[in-house]
Each structure stands twice: as C-alpha cells, then as structure tokens.
Amino acid sequence: MSYRGRIAPTPTGFLHLGHARTFALAAQRCRAAAGTLILRIEDLDAARCRGEYARAAAEDLRRLGIVWDEGPDVGGPCAPYVQSENFSYFLSVWERLKNAGAIYPCRRSRRDVAAAARAPHAEDEAAEPIFPPQWRPPAGTGRDFSEPGDFNWRFRVPDGEEISFVDEIRGAQKFVAGKDFGDFVVWRRDGVPAYELAVVADDVRMGVTEVVRGADLLKSAARQTLIYRALGAAVPAWAHAPLVRDESGRRLAKRSDALSLRALWAQGRGDFIRGFCGL
C-alpha cells in the first residue's frame, strides 16, 4: 500500500514554531516514502475556528516550502479537505459507531463538552478526569436513536484492556483503557463531532497510512485505535514528534503568539525557522 500522510491544522490561531517542525517532519517522512501528502483543515468547531487562520496556515506552510498533493486549494480524490464542508459524513460515522453499540448518549457537565471540543493535548488533560464507569449506561443504550440529539456521545472503552502499539518515533507504547483514559466524547451535545471521531473518520476516508503529529496526542492514538476497531478499519502507523516548548517549559500554544511563524518572519528570522525545522 502506498504511503499517504497528512497535515491537519485546526485554524484557531496562527501557526507557531511547534507546528512548523511537526509539519515539516510530516512532509519529510512522506517524501522519504515517495508518498502522497494531504492538507486537511480541521475546522468543525465553528465557535473557535476562523477562515482567516485557515488561509494563513496554508500560506505559512507554502512559505516553509511544504508542498501537498491534495488539499482544499489543489483538490484531489478525497475532497472535501475542509471538515466543516462534510458534516453529513461525520454524522454517518456517528451512526456506524452507534449501530455497533460502541457509543452511548450521555448528559454530563459543560466542562466535559469543552474538553471534547479540542484535541486533548496532554497538558490540558489533567483537567479531564477519567469518566466514572458507574455513570455508564447499560449496553445497548442509544442504539434506537436516529440522530445524536442534545447529548454528548461517549465511546464505551474496554476497561482493563491494554492498547499497545509501536510509535515510529517514540517506540513501544502501552495504555490501559479505563485507567489511562476513560469513556471519551465522540460527539458533542451542541451538535459538533468531537476531535477523536472527526480525525479518525477523515483519516479512514482519506486512506491515511501514517499519522505524524505532536507527542501531546500520543494517548489519543490509543483512543483512536478503539474507534478504528469499532469501524473495522485498518489502524495507521503513528509517529509522534517531540513537542517544542517555550523558555518556561510550556508547550507552545496558538494562544501564545510570540513564537508564531509570522512574528518570527517579521523579525527576519526565516533562517532560524528553517534551521529549527531541519528544512
């Protein structure tokens, strides 16, 4: 099977040095495998995403010299490459998971909803406690629903099961369902597909064979493995790149604009960016 990789920014701010290094690595791994690189815009959360950031991300990537073979601007066989243009597809994946008995409707706090809204980057995760198994409804709950309605939908994780995989960068990994992570949200009660569902749904649809992203999403590889399994789809290879941290040791976030590529370019530090990203 030929290599298909992707770069999947969420347009909630300008790209920073951390994105640049991870995306450059994704492009390099794809090129080394003579593969196809996809640009996909993960903008399902309309309240947080903006078109101007999506345009800026594509511009920044081009300026870094990263070239993609399929994407919103160049098209390709897996269009649309913008998640917000494909809501009905995500709904069909919700339906498949529901029919398989893998997920259930749940009414829990707003905080859960907020946590599900974004990719659970490791440092935010302390704020997301394991969903108490006693809150889990009996098997089969929700199977008769014809639409998600006003509920969060959670994935029923197999408590105690070890999910292991070999990460291409970080080596052997092992997470225990119910201990390292609990029943996670795949669909938000405000009608938005959650990150874990959306990313797997599109990686399956686009035939992605290797996922290259930041190490803060390492644990999500275990969650996502369960979704692949429930969908009967092949799990891709994983390659989680080291995070870039600021001087105080914090993961760079889009909210800290200081190290945005734009700010660095404006300071004439293009060579630094290229060197830092190994470009």
Report the 3 state secondary structure along 197-266: HHHHHHHHHCCCCEEEEEHHHHHHHHHHHHHHHHHCCCCCEEEEECCCECCCCCECCCCCHHHEHHHHHH
Cβ proximity to ligand GLU: between 103 and 215 the closer is 215
Helix, coil or strand: residue 1: coil
Total of residues contacting ligand GLU (CB under 6 A): 8
Per CB under 6 A, the list member of 116, 217, 252, 273 interacting with ligand GLU is 217
Q: In this structure, are residues 226 and 155 in contact, taking their beta carbons and an 8 Å threshold?
A: yes
- Nearest approach in angstroms of CB 211 to ligand GLU is 6
The yes or no reply on residue 221 touching ligand GLU (CB under 6 A) is no
- Mark the segment that binds ligand GLU (CB under 6 A) among 4-12, 173-181, 227-235, 260-268: 4-12
Structure tokens at 155: 């994935």
Judged by beta carbon, residue 26 or residue 106, the one nearer ligand GLU is: 26
Cα separation of 38 and 151, whole Å? 32
Complex with ligand GLU: residue 98 or 219, whichever CB lies closer: 219
Cα 224 to Cα 220: distance, rounded to the nearest angstrom = 6
Residue numbers 23-42 binding ligand GLU by CB under 6 A? 42
Per CB under 6 A, does 252 bind ligand GLU? no
Q: Is the CB of residue 262 less than 8 Å from the CB of residue 56?
A: yes
Q: Which of 8, 15, 49, 192 binds ligand GLU (CB under 6 A)?
A: 8
Q: Which residue has the tokens 């994983």?
A: 238
Judged by CB under 6 A, which of 4, 5, 9, 20 binds ligand GLU?
9
DSSP labels for 198-217?
Answer: HHHHHHHHTT--EEEEEGGG
199 binds ligand GLU (CB under 6 A): yes
Span near ligand GLU by CB under 6 A; candidates 3-11, 95-103, 145-153, 242-250: 3-11
- To ligand GLU, the closest distance from the beta carbon of 10 in angstroms equals 4
Q: Residue 4 interacts with ligand GLU (CB under 6 A)?
A: no
Rounded to 5 degrees, φ, ψ at 31 are: -65, -40
| Sites of contact with ligand GLU (CB under 6 A) | 8-10, 42, 119, 199, 213, 217
